[in-house]
Structures are given as structure tokens and as C-alpha cells.
Structure 1
Amino acid sequence: MTTRQMQILSALGSGLVGAAVLTAVHQIARALTPNAPRMDVLGRRAITKTLKHVGITPPRGDTLQRVALAGDLVSNSLYFALAGLGAGRYARHAPGRGLALGLLAGLGAVVLPPKMHLGRWPSRASTATKAMTVAWYTAGGLAAGTALRGVRQSAWV
């Protein structure tokens, strides 16, 4: 495998780490805190709206929830993988890039859903909900960048 291929794989892997951290925090908080952001609700709404728009009957119930979680993991993994693109010998900067990406994603998760007609409540229920949304996406981005730095500083990449 070439060095470039290894860099891409490590970026994708670190993106998955960030997405897993973000998803785990969301799911744990959802069970513990009534004001927790419900990004899964936004995911379900987006899937339902998109599928209906193209004439496909969307899944319901637990199936829709699983599809939304899978979609979150895939899209967040790809997004957080951006922390590692072009890093090469500059892997030490990956946590900062991840942090910036996470902060932008968190702010977007608070601001964009109403503009996309996905509703307000899931990420904007209260000031605490907004703060948790931004903090958790930031933590996911930081986890991705830190994972990438660790992999890139290892002997095999």
C-alpha cells in the first residue's frame, strides 16, 4: 500500500473515531438528560423528507432510527476525516483542524435545521441544548484529530 493510501485510510479511520465519540455521547446523554440534543430526530426528519421527495416510502419506527444512526455515523465519519486530509507531515496540527471542524459542525447543527425545515427543538430546545450540541460536535472533531495524530506518529504511516 502506498503512503498516500495509508494517509487516506488513517484519515477515514480517525473520522470514524470522531463520529463514534459524537454518537456515543449523544446516545448516552439522550438517556440521561431531558435537554439533550436529539440529532437523531433531525436525521429521521431529513431521511423521511428526502425519501418522500423522491417518491419512496420511508422506513418507520426502529428501522428509521437505525437508518438515521447509520447515516449519522457515515456522514460524520467522512466529515471528521477532513481533519486528516493533506496532513502528511503536519499531523501534529490534526487536533486543531478537528477541533475547528467540530466547532463548525456544532454551530451548523444549531443554526441550520430550522433553515432546512427540519424543526427547531432537537438542537435548540434550550441554551443548554445549544451548548451541548456545539460541545459534543467539537469533542468529536477533537477526537478525530487526536486519533489521526496518534496514527500518523506511529511507525507504520
Structure 2
Amino acid sequence: MKNKTTSAHIVQALGSGLAGALALNVVHEAIRQVRPQDAPRMDILGKRGLRRLLAKANASQPTEDTAYVLTMLGDLVSNGLYYSLVGSGPGVWWRGATLGIAAGVGGVVLPGPMGLGQAPSNRTPQTKAMTVAWYLLGGLAAAGVSQAWSSKRR
């Protein structure tokens, strides 16, 4: 019985995390189409990171379209795993908000020191605010899905 419960919680956490990652990516992509002047461009940071890793591995560089697709897939996987930390049970909303804000602040602060450039997430005050807000939205989406999943299992 315990293994079945543990498996159910893992599936719930991963599913909720993926929902948060999807929400985050959909908002990022939609807003960059509407507000290109100050929308966060995490896709650019992702492509820079991917190209850097491939260069260090002496691997060939992908085309722009392939790099974009690989970056989006990488975002879904990495953010989905990150947001799966929301888990289940009491406190999912606080965990979702905390994880979201932490990721958003990290998205503003870390790219520069990592050598990926600051402009994609740090260009204007609006860019910074949107970066934090979209990651918070992802954390809250993961929490909402997790809570709904828990309610359905009861």
C-alpha cells in the first residue's frame, strides 16, 4: 500500500511540476509576441547556455530553429522538475509561491554572473518584474494543479 501511495505522490508532483512549467513557458512566449521591447527573453538565455555547453563538448552547433526547440524542451523538463518540488499536501501554495519567487529572482540575478548576459531578463524594470511574476505564476500553477489533484484523489 505504501509503494502505491508513494508512486501516486511522485506522479502528482511530476504532473503538477509539468503544469507549472507549461504555464510559465506559455506566458513567456505569449508576452514576448505582444511586448517584444521589454518582455523577458529566457529563450535567448537558454540558447546561449545550450550553445556554450555544446561548444565546451566540441559538438556541432544546431541551427537557430533547432536550438529554440531544444531550449523549449529543456525548459519544460528542468522547470517541470523544479516545480515538482511543490509536492502535495498542506503548504503547496506557500511552496509554489516560494519556489516561483526564488526562480524569478534567480532568473534576474544569475544570468550576468553566469556569462549569459543580463539584457534578456534584466533589461528594464518591467522586464525584471515580469521575469519574477511569470516564475511565480508557474509556481502557483503547479500548486493549484497539485491541490486539485489531491482533492480529486480524496
Same fold (TM over 0.5): yes
Partner of 1:29: 31
In 2, the alpha carbon distance for the partners of 1:76 and 1:5 equals: 21
The equivalent of 1:104 in structure 2 is: 102
The whole-number CA distance in structure 1 between the counterparts of 2:93 and 2:22 is 16
- Alignment partner of 1:56 is 2:54: no
Query: Match of 2:76?
Result: 73
Matched, 1:39 2:26: no
Greater mean alpha carbon deviation, residues 49-58 or residues 22-31:
49-58
Kindly state the Cα deviation for residue 146 of structure 1 after the two structures are TM-superposed.
1.3
1:94 aligned to 92, 95, 100, which one?
92
Most deviating of 91-100 and 112-121 = 91-100
Runs of at least 4 residues off by over 6 Å: none
Partner deviation per Cα, 1:41-91 (whole Å, 9 max, x = no partner): 00000000011011111212111100001100110000000010xx4xxx1
Map of 2:123 onto structure 1: 125
Superposition deviation, residue 39 in structure 1? 0.1
Matched letter for residue 10 of structure 1? Q
In structure 1, the partner of 2:141 is: 143
Secondary structure of 1:153's aligned partner: helix
Structure 2 unaligned blocks of 5 or more: none
Size of the alignment, in residue pairs? Answer: 151
**2-structure distance, mates of 1:155, 1:110:** 37
The alpha-carbon deviation at position 93 of structure 1 amounts to 1.2
Task: Report deviation, 1:92.
Answer: 3.3
5+ residue gaps, structure 1: none
* Deviations 1:90-136 (CA, angstroms, capped at 9, x unpaired): x1311210110000000000000001000011000100000000000
Q: Percent identity over the alignment?
A: 44
Residues of 2 paired with 1:60 and 1:126: CA distance?
29
Contact 1:95 1:143 in 2 (8 A): no
TM (normalized to structure 2)? 0.95
Distance 1:137 1:10 in 2: 20
Pairwise CA RMSD: 1.1
How far, CA to CA, are the matches of 1:98 and 1:136 in structure 2? Answer: 12
